[in-house]
Amino acid sequence: MAAMTNKYFGTDGIRGRVGDAPVTADFMLRLGRAAGKVLAYEDSRSVVIGKDTRISGYMFESALEAGLAAAGANVALLGPMPTPAIAYLTRTLHACAGIVISASHNPFYDNGIKFFSADGEKLPDDIEQAIEAELDQDFSTVDSKKMGKAVRIEDAAGRYIEFCKGTIPFNILLGGLRIVVDCANGATYRVAPAILEELGAEVIAIGNKPDGLNINSGCGSTHPGFVSQAVVAQGADVGIALDGDGDRVIMVDAEGRTVNGDELLYILAVARQDLGQLQGGVVGTVMSNFGLELALKAREIPFLRTPVGDRHVHRALVSNGWTLGGEASGHLLCLDKTSTGDGIVSALQVLEVMVSTGKSLADLATDVQKLPQVMINVPVNGQVADLEGSATIDAAVRSVQTRLGDTGRVILRPSGTEPLIRVTLEGTDAAQVNQLAKELADVVRTELMA
């Protein structure tokens, strides 16, 4: 709903192509001032700012810093750091709020802003709306005596490394494991290899040479083939693929087979259940594969679906008192370990299960039999059309659902982060699913161009 009712904030903050409104330097200056007015409620507390490795981050960091200072807010600069690290450091530095400059898994020419509350959690809708309301006000600067100051936190990486290591028991070491970690040329390029090495693993780091332009380019969690090839070539035990800002993870077994977020959720849920540590059930989304639901049902583990987006998953977890949820994309929430999605922490939880059980990643994931699922992205220009208002698209969806029967699903939704309509089909017959997905995508494309 936030994407539909807010002017700037979507399902995951504010995001778009650099230079196109609102992802411009002048907007970020105004956003910094607005955020400072709404979020910086104590003179002694700062707003922390971190970023990923894309080149435009320098420009937006400076603009946000200036806007916050104009509002009288102090700033703590973290430099390139994973999104979940910024959430963690917001809490431990006792900051008023955290700001992340990142477009996550998007290409370098996109960028965006995410906010965290003082608790290291995504901002509630009413706070986002308060910031938007402040953006409509004229730009103003506090008296010079009240202007904010900025400091750089030099030991930010070390603090986060120790936190991540502390999310698994002290007696769990990764010695004997040969691990390929793909950092997507993004925010984890320094900390992820360091964490694994300090825990005793033999680490082969790839995608760890960011140049400002190569973030997510043919690597990371959105391109798992890169780490898969490296795992096989290096004879590694497991591969870890993170995304540009480090809040997603996809893993690869020793044979190079991708193990996505659905399978990783199952592994973590079963391990916690076996130890008597699973609190309630598991939260997925409408995009979670039906095979995950069936596998959890076989273990008598409750499963709930939410709309796409980690904020919806988080809200369902909190309201039910559960701790484990996530998305097939690898955005996993382990609320018993941290307050937000964290690719490194999630990977460590899986590695802990591998070490403690002596099982390979392939063995741990074997009980999840995913149904064939196809997603086609249909580009749109400008504002996404009201899909529910199209009789042609409605009729096409009903026709496809009828042909799939009770063992298939059709999901049609606008992306919350890109100008796309995502057409997704799931069923038991891979060939049929592919064909029907293409047919429905053609209808959507034609209708939206009409």
Q: Is the pLDDT of residue 423 over 80?
A: yes
- Report the pLDDT averaged over residues 19-26: 97
The CATH class of the 373-449 domain is: alpha beta
DSSP letter assigned to residue 42: -
Task: Assess contact for 120 and 90: CB atoms under 8 A.
Answer: yes
Q: What is the pLDDT of residue 450?
A: 60
Regarding the domain delimited by 2-154, which CATH topology (the fold level of the hierarchy) does it fall under?
Alpha-D-Glucose-1,6-Bisphosphate; Chain A, domain 3 (3.40.120)
Which tokens sit at 288?
A: 């979670």
Q: Residue 4 — pLDDT band, cuts 50, 70, 90?
A: very low
Query: Annotated active-site positions, please?
Result: 104
**Nearest of 46, 13, 16 to residue 131 by alpha carbon:** 13
> What does the pLDDT look like over 34-85, one tens digit per residue?
999 999 888 788 999 999 999 999 999 999 999 999 999 999 999 999 999 9
What residue type is 36 in one-letter code? G
Q: What is the mean pLDDT of residues 325-351?
A: 96
pLDDT score recorded for residue 101: 98
Read off the pLDDT of residues 197-243 as tens digits, 9 standing for 90 and up: 999 999 999 999 999 999 999 999 999 999 999 999 999 999 999 99
Name the residue with higher pLDDT: 408 or 161.
161
User: What would the two tokens of residue 219 be?
Assistant: 């690597």
Q: Show me where the domains of the chain are located.
A: 2-154, 160-364, 373-449
pLDDT of residue 408: 83
Instruction: Return left, alpha or beta for 227; rule: phi > 0 is left, psi -120 to 50 is alpha, else beta.
Output: alpha
**Which fold does the domain 160-364 belong to in CATH?**
Alpha-D-Glucose-1,6-Bisphosphate; Chain A, domain 3 (3.40.120)
The packing angle between helices 290-298 and 261-274, to 10°, is: 10
Q: How far is CA 170 from CA 56, 359, 380, in A?
A: 39, 20, 50
Asked whether the beta carbons of 278 and 324 are under 8 A apart, the reply is yes
Q: Is the pLDDT of residue 417 over 70?
A: no
* 115 pLDDT higher than 50: yes
Residues 6+ apart with CB under 8 A from 4: none
Domains 2-154 and 160-364 share a fold: yes
The pLDDT-based confidence of 390 (bands split at 50, 70, 90) is confident
Average pLDDT of the residues of the chain: 93
